[in-house]
């Protein structure tokens, strides 16, 4: 059973951790001992004074109302015949500590509680020792344990030998049993571990004279240090993501204090790291250090769920590589047990929309079956209990969630993304009741036209043009977003029903998919293929979700390309649209524009944060603005993976690998060089083995190398191949070397970006001549760099006085050349 102290504990901020102790006697002939332990709170387990296991932040965060992880550890070597002690320190963790920006606490329990069962296997019998009335409880060195605010530890207060036999616990208190509705379960996800350590890259003395250590990378975790000084000295570490005007800047933490304090025991070197908190940080301000600070005394400990890495991409462009690395780091920072929005501020919640947008990227980069399988199990449990998919899982919001696009429909989109990656129908089978419950619920909300037109929607969340105080108020009609996502969601469910052999459901949901698609088209698509509202997100969704067809597709693609050009290849989409813009451009024959977007560096753009020294993906592309100030909206995390969803396009288009069948038994390999890239190498570990794609364009020669493991076949579309070959290949290493296609590849017209026109010196020369002739006061070059991003059409719109004859001359100049 779970036991909790009889004294008051855990219902106030800053309460100390609770120390639990259970004595036992080990008999002769012990063969094996297994400890299974868990907590309502965060737990560190001990057997006879030795810390058990290398996992941290146990039991991790699940939807505790329903399930708490119970992890097994082999502790045979820690026990011998005679008296023994099981110990545990339990801090407030997610079960008791404040969660969410509204600062509510005790979401799952009023007191820290401990559960343990020690299975002792002898030759002739098995005995089990559990947390029962024999447990004694006290306090010690761990004085506060807040996830958001940090940990306080006074080493002088640690009771010597408290988790060993012989300790006098007569002054400690008894325990009471805890009533708890959930289930103890074998963990579905990997443990959270210390995965890497980073040394400081610089120690800064700030203008106000403080010491700030820079680890060079935003991570999730904490700092471990070794210090030698007098007893009673307190070292304080304040963590933050950034330094502004030379000083540590905690603005992006909001109310989270992210401060660890350690008071020295004295008498020799002491090494300490927190056990009950974690921080999202790059910088740490160190205060109270005895003597001169030696940077070698500090390490940033990177902490997250210990998943296997499965995806890599390297290109010839260092900026692009940094963007990709930032996506990986943001994933690592936000997979601390639960897929979260951000790891630093007073939030760190399992926001459903964020992981929905990011799921295909996450599944390429790491084996996420454990973490996301566990999370989906929680989602289904919460959904069953509440009747709706919560906006955050585990749900700790103070109000019920209503169904919304991109957030709640993760119930369908995430299992589908995992099925696409791993090809295992059991993923769909497990999620099926949750998937159907979501769609059935929304079907009941449709209006008489079959549209999801009412209720709250997040819309194209964080559209850069939305007012700072209304992140859901972007340019794209939020009900258009909802209706578009619903089309995809219902179609996905119908396909899943088909895969699982639920043919009646497949027919029913197939019919619903047709109905909502027709409703969308009737409401939002004009007969010639314009999409209502004419925003980049509206077109991107319509194209990628199959909502425009036939000739409309070309029209929609053209309009999309024009809008993208008009916005100077900067980003004009939020969470809903950003993952699809480059795909929509690529699918409609506008790869050049997709690469122009990818290569853009002005704010807001994919590469802008990289040019500002970002080491993770920001919540907004302009979280830090070009003048160096923080976006003042109050929602400006520097570590949010959602917009990193663009990496999926990089994997499929630059790296060139997509699964042609769920699980990569059949693949499509079609790398598309662009943006001046000269080579790229992609590796992906699938259940069949490693797939590698490498291409290189050296002057006029292209080399492509593809390696497929046993059991995998695919089609290879060779890039820049004069013969435009598509080849069928099987397992093994394949290599092609050929003369690169040169010559006319693209027709130049009034919609071609000036940047593309400028790449052809002959055409550019003719165009500048036309400008010089007709508008001698406005040389075409003078509008650069702005001009480079817009087309002649847009430019002529901007110059109302342009003589009509000029258009004819420009047309002639355009036909004078073509460019690659």
Binding site for ligand BGC (CB under 6 A): 341-342, 347, 351, 353-354, 458, 635, 640, 642
Gap between the Cα atoms of 312 and 309, Å rounded: 8
**Closer by beta carbon to ligand BGC, 241 or else 341:** 341
DSSP conformational letter for 654: I
Q: What are phi and psi of 453, to 5 degrees?
A: -110, 0
Q: Using CB atoms within 10 Å of the CB of residue 738, give its burial: 0 to 12 exposed, 13 to 18 middle, 19+ buried.
A: middle
Instruction: For ligand BGC, give the closer residue by CB, 227 or 642.
Output: 642
Selecting among 117, 151, 285, 347, the annotated active-site residue is: 347
CA-CA distance, 361 to 298, in Å (whole number)? 33
Q: What angle do CA 586, 577, 561 make, to 5 degrees?
A: 40
Q: Select 133 or 632, whichever has its Cβ closest to ligand BGC.
A: 632
Q: Residue 641 in contact with residue 331, Cβ under 8 Å? A: yes
Scanning 545-590, the segments in alpha helix (DSSP H) are 551-566, 578-587
The nearest distance, CB 34 to ligand BGC, in angstroms, is 40
Q: How far is the CB of 458 from ligand BGC (least distance, A)?
A: 6
Phi–psi pair at 806, nearest 5 degrees: -65, -35
Residue among 641, 108, 552 nearest 334 (CA) = 641
Instruction: Cis check for the bond before 604: say yes or no (omega within 30 of 0).
Output: yes
CA distances from 152 to 348, 516, 740 (A): 21, 55, 63
Cβ-contact 334, 220 below 8 angstroms: yes
User: Residue 58: beta bridge partners?
Assistant: 43
As a whole number of Å, the CA-based R_g of the chain is: 29
Helices and strands (DSSP H and E) totals, the chain: 18, 36
Q: Considering the complex, state which of residue 180 and residue 458 has its C-beta at the smaller distance from ligand BGC.
A: 458
Q: Is 123 exposed, middle or buried (0-12, 13-18, 19+ CB in 10 A)?
A: exposed
Does the active-site annotation cover 119?
Answer: no
Comparison of 348 and 651: residue with beta carbon closer to ligand BGC? 348
Active site includes 347? yes
The nearer residue to ligand BGC, 349 or 716, going by C-beta atoms, is 349
Q: Which two tokens stand for residue 245?
A: 């005007």
- Closest to ligand BGC by CB, 461 vs 695, is 461
How near is the Cβ of 600 to ligand BGC at its closest, in Å?
23
Q: Which residue sits closest to ligand BGC, CB atoms considered?
A: 341
Task: Kindly report the number of other CB atoms within 10 A of residue 297's CB atom.
Answer: 18
Q: How near is the Cβ of 617 to ligand BGC at its closest, in Å? A: 11
Residue 550 sits at the vertex; the CA angle it makes with 547 and 551, to the nearest 5 degrees, is 110
Nearer to ligand BGC (CB atom), residue 358 or residue 524: 358
Please give the Cα distance from 310 to 686 (Å, whole number).
7
Distance in Å, CB of 368 to ligand BGC, minimum: 18
Going by DSSP bridges, is the β-strand pair 183-185/67-69 parallel, antiparallel, or unpaired? parallel
Q: Which residues are catalytic?
A: 347, 619
């Amino acid at each position: 059973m779970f036991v909790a102290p009889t004294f008051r504990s855990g219902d106030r901020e800053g309460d100390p951790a609770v120390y639990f102790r259970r004595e036992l006697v080990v008999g002769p002939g012990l063969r094996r001992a297994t400890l299974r332990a868990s907590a309502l709170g965060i737990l560190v387990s001990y057997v006879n004074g030795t810390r058990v296991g290398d996992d941290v932040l146990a039991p991790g965060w699940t939807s505790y109302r329903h399930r708490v992880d119970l992890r097994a550890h082999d502790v045979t070597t820690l026990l011998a015949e005679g008296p023994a002690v099981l110990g545990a320190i339990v801090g407030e963790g997610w079960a008791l500590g404040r969660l969410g920006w509204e600062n509510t606490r005790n979401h799952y329990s009023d007191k820290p509680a401990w559960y343990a069962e020690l299975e002792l296997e002898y030759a002739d019998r098995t005995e089990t020792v559990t947390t029962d009335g024999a447990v004694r409880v006290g306090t010690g060195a761990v004085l506060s344990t807040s996830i958001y605010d940090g940990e306080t530890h006074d080493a002088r207060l640690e009771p010597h030998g408290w988790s060993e036999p012989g300790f006098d616990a007569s002054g400690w208190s008894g325990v009471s049993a805890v009533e708890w509705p959930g289930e103890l379960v074998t963990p579905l996800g990997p443990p959270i571990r210390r995965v890497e350590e980073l040394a400081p890259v610089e120690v800064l003395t700030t203008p106000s004279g403080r010491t700030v250590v820079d680890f060079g990378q935003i991570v999730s975790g904490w700092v471990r240090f070794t210090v030698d000084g007098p007893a009673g000295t307190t070292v304080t570490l304040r963590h933050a993501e950034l330094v502004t005007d030379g000083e540590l800047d905690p603005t992006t933490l909001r109310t989270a204090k992210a401060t660890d304090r350690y008071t020295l025991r004295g008498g020799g070197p002491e090494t300490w790291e927190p056990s009950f908190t974690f921080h999202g940080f790059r910088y740490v301000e160190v205060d109270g250090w005895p003597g001169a600070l030696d940077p070698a005394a500090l390490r940033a400990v990177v902490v997250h769920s210990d998943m296997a890495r499965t995806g890599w991409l390297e290109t010839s462009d260092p900026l692009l590589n940094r963007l990709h690395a930032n996506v990986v780091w943001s994933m690592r920072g936000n997979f601390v047990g639960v897929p979260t929005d951000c790891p630093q501020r007073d939030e760190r919640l399992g926001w459903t929309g964020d992981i929905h947008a990011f799921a295909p990227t996450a599944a390429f980069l790491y084996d996420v079956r454990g973490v996301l399988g566990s999370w989906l199990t929680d989602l289904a449990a919460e959904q069953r209990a509440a009747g709706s998919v919560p906006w955050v899982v585990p749900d700790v919001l103070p109000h019920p969630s209503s169904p919304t696009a991109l957030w709640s429909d993760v119930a369908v989109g995430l299992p589908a993304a995992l099925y696409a990656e791993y090809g295992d129908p059991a993923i769909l089978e497990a999620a099926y009741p949750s998937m159907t419950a979501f769609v059935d619920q929304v079907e009941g909300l449709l209006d008489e036209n079959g549209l999801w037109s009412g209720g709250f929607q997040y819309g194209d969340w964080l559209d850069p043009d939305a007012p700072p105080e209304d992140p859901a108020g972007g340019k794209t009609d939020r009900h258009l977003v909802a209706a578009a996502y619903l089309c995809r969601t219902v179609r996905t469910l119908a396909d899943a029903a088909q895969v699982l052999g639920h043919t009646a459901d497949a027919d029913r949901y197939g019919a619903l998919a047709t109905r909502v698609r027709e409703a969308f088209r009737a409401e939002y698509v004009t007969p010639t293929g314009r999409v209502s509202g004419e925003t980049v997100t509206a077109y991107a969704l319509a194209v990628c979700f199959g909502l425009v067809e036939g000739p409309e597709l070309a029209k929609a693609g053209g309009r999309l390309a024009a809008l993208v050009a008009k916005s100077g290849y900067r980003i004009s989409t939020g969470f809903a649209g950003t993952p699809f813009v480059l795909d929509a451009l690529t699918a409609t024959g506008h790869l050049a524009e997709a690469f122009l977007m990818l290569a853009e560096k002005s704010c807001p753009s994919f590469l802008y944060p990289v040019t500002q020294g970002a080491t993770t993906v920001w919540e907004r592309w302009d979280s830090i603005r070009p003048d160096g100030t923080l976006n003042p909206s109050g929602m400006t995390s520097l570590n949010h993976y959602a917009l990193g969803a663009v990496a999926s396009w990089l994997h499929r288009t630059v790296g060139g690998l997509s699964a042609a069948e769920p699980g990569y038994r059949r693949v499509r390999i079609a790398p598309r060089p662009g943006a001046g890239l000269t080579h790229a190498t992609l590796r992906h570990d699938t259940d069949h083995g490693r797939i590698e794609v490498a291409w290189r364009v050296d002057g006029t020669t292209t080399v492509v190398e593809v390696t497929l493991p046993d059991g995998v076949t695919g089609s290879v579309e060779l890039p820049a191949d004069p013969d435009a070959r598509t080849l069928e290949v099987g397992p093994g290493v394949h290599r092609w070397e050929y003369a690169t296609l040169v010559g006319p590849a693209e027709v130049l017209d009034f919609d071609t970006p000036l940047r593309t026109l400028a790449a052809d010196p002959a055409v550019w020369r003719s165009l500048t001549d036309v400008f010089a002739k007709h508008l001698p006061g406005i040389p075409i070059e003078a509008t650069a760099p702005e001009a480079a991003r817009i087309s002649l059409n847009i430019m002529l719109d901007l110059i109302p006085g342009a003589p009509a004859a000029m258009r004819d001359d420009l047309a002639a100049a355009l036909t004078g050349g073509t460019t690659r």
